[in-house]
Amino acid sequence: MSLSISPSAALILVDVQPDFMPGGALACHEGDAIIAGIDELLRQRRFRHVVATQDWHPAGHVSFASSHVGRKPFEQIALYDQPQTLWPEHCVQGTPDAELHPAIDWSTLDAVIRKGSDPAVDSYSGFRENHGPHGNRPSTGLAGWLRERGVDEVFVCGLARDVCVLWTAQDAVALGFRASLLWSLSRPVTPDSDAATRDAMQASGIVLG
Ligand code: VGL
Ligand code: ZN
């Protein structure tokens, strides 16, 4: 992996939480394969700014299949006129499997953005929630946090490559940042999604990092 590091670059670590690891509630394919590499990247201190996102849902969250009568995980419904995948219950606030993964040394983190806390709205991206009942996508504040520190470039990795990592990188570009997706430090929740993810990256102007 070749990284062009500058003081105006930030690393964004998306949803590296036990629930997204093999055996977890919403396991990503080989999700645990990224842990050592992320820990090593943090130890190298190559980024001036390091931010983690943490999926952080209240019990009964709208994205849980169990919150919809007769629905099963991985089915799609329409929610606020947008497609919403229904997920197994995962990353419930305060549970051990919602913590940042305990095998990584997180001591150099500058900020943690918790997302998905609105019971009625999902949030894949670290920058903006998914569409809510009012049609907009409320900001998490991350773009302002980065801009006020002079950041204009982000490197995104973590889980899941085809969901929260992709949406975070897409929003980064849409909000005016240069964005690279660190492919080898991400894994998908849907194993055969890689071609579609690459297409979406190319269409969005995300660099394969
Ligand atoms: C994620 C589905 C639901 C992710 C979070 O981190 O990619 N995917 N919640
Ligand atoms: Zn979630």
Catalytic residue among 28, 91, 157, 164: 164
Domain 9-58+92-208, second-level architecture: 3-Layer(aba) Sandwich (3.40)
Indicate the helix (H) or strand (E) that contains 129: none
Task: Please give the Cα distance from 165 to 15 (Å, whole number).
Answer: 8
- Nearest ligand 1 atom to the CA of 116 is 9
Tokens representing 188 are: 């998908």
Measured over the CA atoms of residue 45, residue 40, residue 145 and residue 92, the dihedral's sign is negative
Tell me the β-bridge partners of 114.
54
Measured over the CA atoms of residue 148, residue 1, residue 26 and residue 191, the dihedral's sign is positive
**pLDDT tens digits, one per residue of 145-154:** 999 999 999 9
Indicate the helix (H) or strand (E) that contains 191: none
* Residue 9 Cα to ligand 1 middle (Å): 24
Average pLDDT for the chain: 96
Helical H segments across the chain, by residue range: 35-43, 142-147, 166-174, 194-204
**pLDDT tens digits, one per residue of 112-151:** 999 999 999 999 999 999 999 998 999 999 999 999 999 9
User: Which residue among 90, 92, 168 has the greatest number of ligand 1 atoms within 8 angstroms of its CB, and so is best to mutate?
Assistant: 90
pTM for the whole structure: 0.97
User: Can you give the pLDDT at residue 1?
Assistant: 52
Task: Please give the Cα distance from 41 to 205 (Å, whole number).
Answer: 24
- Nearest ligand 1 atom to the CA of 158 is 6
* Residue 93 Cα to ligand 1 middle (Å): 14
Residues of the chain with pLDDT under 50: none
Active-site residue, 15 included: yes
Which residue in 177, 171, 168, 113 sits closest to 141, CA to CA?
A: 113
**Cα R_g (the chain), whole angstroms:** 16
User: Which residue among 92, 122, 124 has the greatest number of ligand 1 atoms within 8 angstroms of its CB, and so is best to mutate?
Assistant: 124
User: Can you give the pLDDT at residue 112?
Assistant: 98
User: Can you give the pLDDT at residue 99?
Assistant: 98
User: Can you give the pLDDT at residue 188?
Assistant: 98
Tell me the β-bridge partners of 173.
none
